[in-house]
Amino acid sequence: MDYLWWKHGVIYQIYPRSFQDSNGDGIGDLDGIIERLDYLNNGTNHSLGIDGIWMSPTFPSPMKDFGYDVADYEDVHPDFGTLATMDRLIDEAHKRSIRIILDFVPNHTSSDHPWFRESRSSVDSPKRDWYVWRDAKDDGTAPNNWIAVFGGPAWEWDQKTQQYYLHSFLVEQPDLNWRNPQVERAMHNVLRFWMERGVDGFRIDVMDRILKDPALRDNPPNPDRSWGRLMGVTGLQQHTQDQNWPDIVDAVRRIRSTVDEFPDRMTVGEVFGTPENIVRYYGGETSDGLHLAFNFSLTRLVGERWNAANVRKRVDAFESALPGAAWPNIVLGNHDIDRFISRVNHDGRGAARGRAAAVLLLTLRGTPFIYMGEEIGMPNTDVPEHRLQDPARFHHRNRDPERTPLQWTAKGGFSNSEPWLPYGDLSINVAAQEKDERSMLTLYRKLIWTRRASKALTLGDYAAIDGLPADVFAFTRAHGDERTLTMINFANDGVAFDLPKALRAGETLVSTHGEPNAGGRIELAAHEGRLVRLM
């Protein structure tokens, strides 16, 4: 069959610290994930029905950046389990046709990684060049003006060896030097290590920074101040020298050829910028780069900017930038950004928009990524000051509100003891929603299982529909004779319209609003999302 798991399936992101704690230490772990696999897919529509899970990092780490500071790429942090637990998770997931995607963090290691300890021990260390070390300028200042994503200069002075090292994120996250072939080889061997254990793919962290300007020239200032709010301090500069450097794509192609040593594996890279920039990472017309590069463009539509015209514009821009064989993907949230519902809650209607957005996420063309908790409509959790954990809080927005434990029951159900981050509003929970025909969880299940059964939705072509009321975004998906129509009403009021002559709506497959009207004229309720089969 033409079905490819990473292309036509649905991927679910787990933030492992917050999914399920199995041993009562308040921290989620791999055994907890194993316990909950049937929730994700037990082969019936009483489960979510996803095809793969991407887990944020589970490697040994001092947890300065909650695992994105890796101290050993080939082991498991004891908080999460052991290599044997990981093997069991891979096995149990595969029994349920769930693929496992690990989070590969190539741009930087932890400063506790043995490679960095060795590198910083002396200027003559054989691993000195595994990281980016430079002398101070004549006046003692840093080699250039680059700033760290989490604030402050991207250079840290090392007293002992009298040089600066580069860290694009925390001081405890030194950047690897991918211009050194030994580094590249070692990191490719990490990929092989996990693929040999049965891992199906990799989400690649900070893909767009692994190579920088070899001359380390200054970034120019950013005249566009509107970026500041969203991107924190990084918005102060244009990242022409330290991000999206042209030859990263060559390194990506080499990663792809290593991944292709094993059958049926995939990569999805974290890349920022315009659609034109993002699609470069797919490898262009030859499609020999990443299988997928995250399309974050919908996550940028905050507040009133989440409307029919903008959503359509962004979907179409990505579609038209993609080279022939490349495949899109849809993202509404992740562990770094406000939860969707909170992002569009400027007038208190975030939850309704969340339901309509689910219809969008699961019927647009491309691989949907669900961030754990979206399927029950979790908003941001207010985390009191004394419970905050994320180190990024000093410099720009804190990421704890979207990282709180998944709410399984009215009592929490995540852990027997106090979770590492507090629960939010526990009236939003899996157990209650499983029993409720009109819940968000039921909606997600219906959408996913409808999608699974439909070639139009999984494989089909996409075409937006013109000439509808301004608040409606509608599109068809078509494969062979099968055609579906998605209609989303972004307005706070109902809307009525006639479909273009060529489209005759048949059976309604899913709606956010229960039983929709029958008959020729379409009436959508405020924030209704509806999926129908076309006749």
Q: Would residue 285 be called left, alpha or beta, if left means φ above 0 and alpha means ψ between -120 and 50 degrees?
A: alpha
By C-beta, is 20 or 110 nearer to ligand TEU? 110
Residues 6+ apart with CB under 8 A from 325: 285, 287
Partner in contact with 169, chosen from ligand TEU, Ca ion, none, beta carbon below 5 to 8 Å by kind: ligand TEU
Question: What is d(CA 7, CA 292) in angstroms, rounded to the nearest whole number?
Answer: 9
Candidates 8, 10, 29, 291; binder of Ca ion (CB under 5 A) is: 29
By C-beta, is 62 or 198 nearer to ligand TEU? 62
SS3 115: helix
Candidates 169, 194, 318, 473; binder of ligand TEU (CB under 6 A) is: 169
By C-beta, is 29 or 242 nearer to ligand TEU? 242
Partner in contact with 483, chosen from Ca ion, ligand TEU, none, beta carbon below 5 to 8 Å by kind: none
Contact call for residue 25 and Ca ion (CB under 5 A): yes
Helices (H), 397-516: 430-434, 440-452, 455-459
Q: Quick check: 486 and 360 in contact, CB under 8 A?
A: yes
For residues 469, 470, 472, 475, the Cα torsion angle rounded to the nearest 10 degrees is 90
Q: How many residues bind ligand TEU (CB under 6 A)?
A: 11
Question: What is d(CA 20, CA 406) in angstroms, rounded to the nearest whole number?
Answer: 7
Q: How far is the CB of 62 from Ca ion (least distance, A)?
A: 18
Contact call for residue 361 and Ca ion (CB under 5 A): no
Candidates 12, 68, 414, 490; binder of ligand TEU (CB under 6 A) is: 68
Residues 6+ apart with CB under 8 A from 252: 207, 269, 281, 283, 289, 290
Candidates 72, 129, 319, 336; binder of ligand TEU (CB under 6 A) is: 336
Number of continuous H segments (helices) and E segments (strands) in the chain? 15, 18
Partner in contact with 311, chosen from Ca ion, ligand TEU, none, beta carbon below 5 to 8 Å by kind: none
Q: How far is the CB of 323 from ligand TEU (least distance, A)?
A: 25
> Known catalytic residue: 261?
yes
Q: Quick check: 462 and 482 in contact, CB under 8 A?
A: no
Residues in the chain: 535
By C-beta, is 29 or 375 nearer to Ca ion? 29
For residues 221, 226, 231, 232, the Cα torsion angle rounded to the nearest 10 degrees is 80
Contact call for residue 23 and Ca ion (CB under 5 A): yes
Contact call for residue 65 and ligand TEU (CB under 6 A): yes
By C-beta, is 202 or 408 nearer to ligand TEU? 202
Question: What is d(CA 110, CA 174) in angstroms, rounded to the nearest whole number?
Answer: 7
Contact call for residue 340 and ligand TEU (CB under 6 A): no
Residues 472-531 that bind ligand TEU (CB under 6 A): none
Binding mask 8-27 for ligand TEU (x = CB under 6 A): --------------------
Question: What is d(CA 274, CA 73) in angstroms, rounded to the nearest whole number?
Answer: 31
Q: How far is the CB of 418 from ligand TEU (least distance, A)?
A: 24
> Known catalytic residue: 196?
no
Q: Is the dihedral of CA 434, 435, 439, 444 positive or negative?
A: positive
Partner in contact with 239, chosen from Ca ion, ligand TEU, none, beta carbon below 5 to 8 Å by kind: none
Q: Quick check: 346 and 301 in contact, CB under 8 A?
A: no
Contact call for residue 338 and ligand TEU (CB under 6 A): no
From the candidates 74, 196, 260, 261, give the one annotated as an active-site residue: 261
Contact call for residue 36 and Ca ion (CB under 5 A): no
Q: Give me the phi and psi of 67, to 5 degrees please.
A: 100, -20
Q: How many residues bind Ca ion (CB under 5 A)?
A: 5
By C-beta, is 372 or 532 nearer to ligand TEU? 372
Residue number, nearest CB to ligand TEU:
68
51: closest CA among 101, 103, 102?
101
Contact call for residue 156 and ligand TEU (CB under 6 A): no
From the candidates 103, 175, 205, 390, give the one annotated as an active-site residue: 205
Q: How far is CA 336 from CA 7, 215, 332, 382, in A?
A: 24, 31, 11, 15
By C-beta, is 66 or 490 nearer to ligand TEU? 66
By C-beta, is 6 or 169 nearer to ligand TEU? 169
Binding mask 242-271 for ligand TEU (x = CB under 6 A): ----------------------------x-
Contact call for residue 87 and Ca ion (CB under 5 A): no
Partner in contact with 29, chosen from ligand TEU, Ca ion, none, beta carbon below 5 to 8 Å by kind: Ca ion
Candidates 99, 291, 312, 399; binder of ligand TEU (CB under 6 A) is: 399
Q: How far is CA 215 from CA 134, 143, 211, 222, in A?
A: 11, 10, 11, 20
SS3 430: helix
For residues 302, 308, 313, 314, the Cα torsion angle rounded to the nearest 10 degrees is 40
Contact call for residue 27 and Ca ion (CB under 5 A): yes
Count of CB atoms within 10 A of residue 507's CB?
9
Q: How far is the CB of 88 from ligand TEU (least distance, A)?
A: 26
By C-beta, is 21 or 51 nearer to Ca ion? 21
Question: What is d(CA 43, CA 46) in angstroms, rounded to the nearest whole number?
Answer: 8
Instruction: Please give the angle made by the CA atoms of 98, 102 and 103, to the nearest 5 degrees.
Output: 145
Residues of this chain that bind ligand TEU (CB under 6 A): 65, 68, 105, 149, 169, 205-206, 270, 335-336, 399
Binding interface with Ca ion (CB under 5 A): 21, 23, 25, 27, 29
Q: Which residues are catalytic?
A: 205, 261
